[in-house]
Amino acid sequence: MDPLWASVAEFWWIGPTALGTGTLGWLGLRRGRRERRRRIELDAARLELRSARREQALTRARVRVARAELTRLQAERTAGRGTGLDLAGARRELDIATAEARVASATARARRAHVSAARAALPSTADAAALPVARLLAAHDALTARWMAYETDPARLIAFPAMTDARQPLTAAFLAAERTARERRPASAQARVEPQRFAAYRDAVAAAGAAFETAEAEAWRQARAAGDAPPKPRPGDPDARTAGSPAFEQWTLLAQDVAQTVIAKGSEALVQAISLRPRPATRPATRPRDGAPADATDDGTATHDDPPRGGPGRVWPVPRRPRA
């Protein structure tokens, strides 16, 4: 027998084994990629939590260093070698380090909450549109469509010129944020994206959305001032989150009711206090003598203590000058 065929007959099993191993490896790699795409939001949240914990540890170390430096300067001040200026600077450094430590601690707590939320919202691999990168791309596309409506609609272009004017500060801020989000955008939902890149793209899309809402509200406010939009915001308008919104009107009516109730209660209390006020004792009326004035006493002298007869609103006549 030919040696070649003899080798094939002896090692024929290597081909199917290699093919099966390659197929299993390819399937495992594909499954691993799907799993990474499904868990990328959780991985990014965990990465941010590790970074926040690292920053928290650094700020705590700075607080310890600043406290030790303050203790040293206080000892030198007691010994007469330090100055009050150095002591005040050390206290200021300790206050700054303590504030930074509080911020880092709050950030770490927020990152832990983000990890819990991402773990609870893990999607299934069956729904490709529910994957984190796909959802983020859809949110970015929706934001772009909202802005393009002001660029392509002639009516909106005339009514809201601030949305297409890059000289407006808020519009310029939105355009800059949208440019950053466009630069960090992945090629597709199936592209390989690292957790750091996903977190950066997510933050860029969120910043662009917040800038767009601010610029849109300002554009609508300018349009209302110019008469190109109804003067009063309606529910659903971009600037309806402040004055004119149902919630704002509800709180305004509630505040007015409370103010009216307080005023009414205060008026009632004032009336009751006046009614319960003790009145001064009046003297018994005595009959004046003949020839004495009506408000004279028994000895004929007029008194000014008692109120004049005829009520509190009586005004005595002004004497006239004698005619020459």
The arithmetic mean of pLDDT across residues 4-12, rounded, is: 64
Q: What is the DSSP string of 181-212?
A: HHHT--S-TTS---HHHHHHHHHHHHHHHHHH
Average pLDDT value over all residues in the chain: 78
pLDDT tens sequence across 101-145: 999 999 999 999 999 998 888 887 767 888 899 999 999 999 999
pLDDT of residue 241: 65
Query: Burial letters for 2-20: b for 16+ Cβ neighbours within 10 Å, e otherwise?
Result: eeeeeeeeeeeeeeeeeee
Residue 304 pLDDT class (50, 70, 90 cuts): very low
Phi, psi at 90, each rounded to 5°: -65, -40
pLDDT range class, residue 246, cuts 50, 70, 90: very low
Q: Is the pLDDT assigned to residue 85 strictly greater than 80? A: yes
Helix, strand, or coil (residue 103): helix
Identify the burial level of 279 via C-beta atoms within 10 angstroms of its C-beta, where 0-12 means exposed, 13-18 middle and 19 or more buried.
exposed
Measured CA distances, 163 to 157, 238, 271 (Å)? 8, 13, 58
| Residue-level pLDDT at 102 | 96
| More confident: 191 or 257 | 191
> How many Å is the Cα radius of gyration of the chain?
42
Looking at the DSSP bridge assignments, the partners of residue 302 are: 296
- Reported as a single tens digit per residue, the pLDDT across 62-82 is 999 999 999 999 998 888 887
Q: Distance of CA 122 to CAs 83, 138, 140, Å? A: 59, 17, 20
pLDDT of residue 247: 45
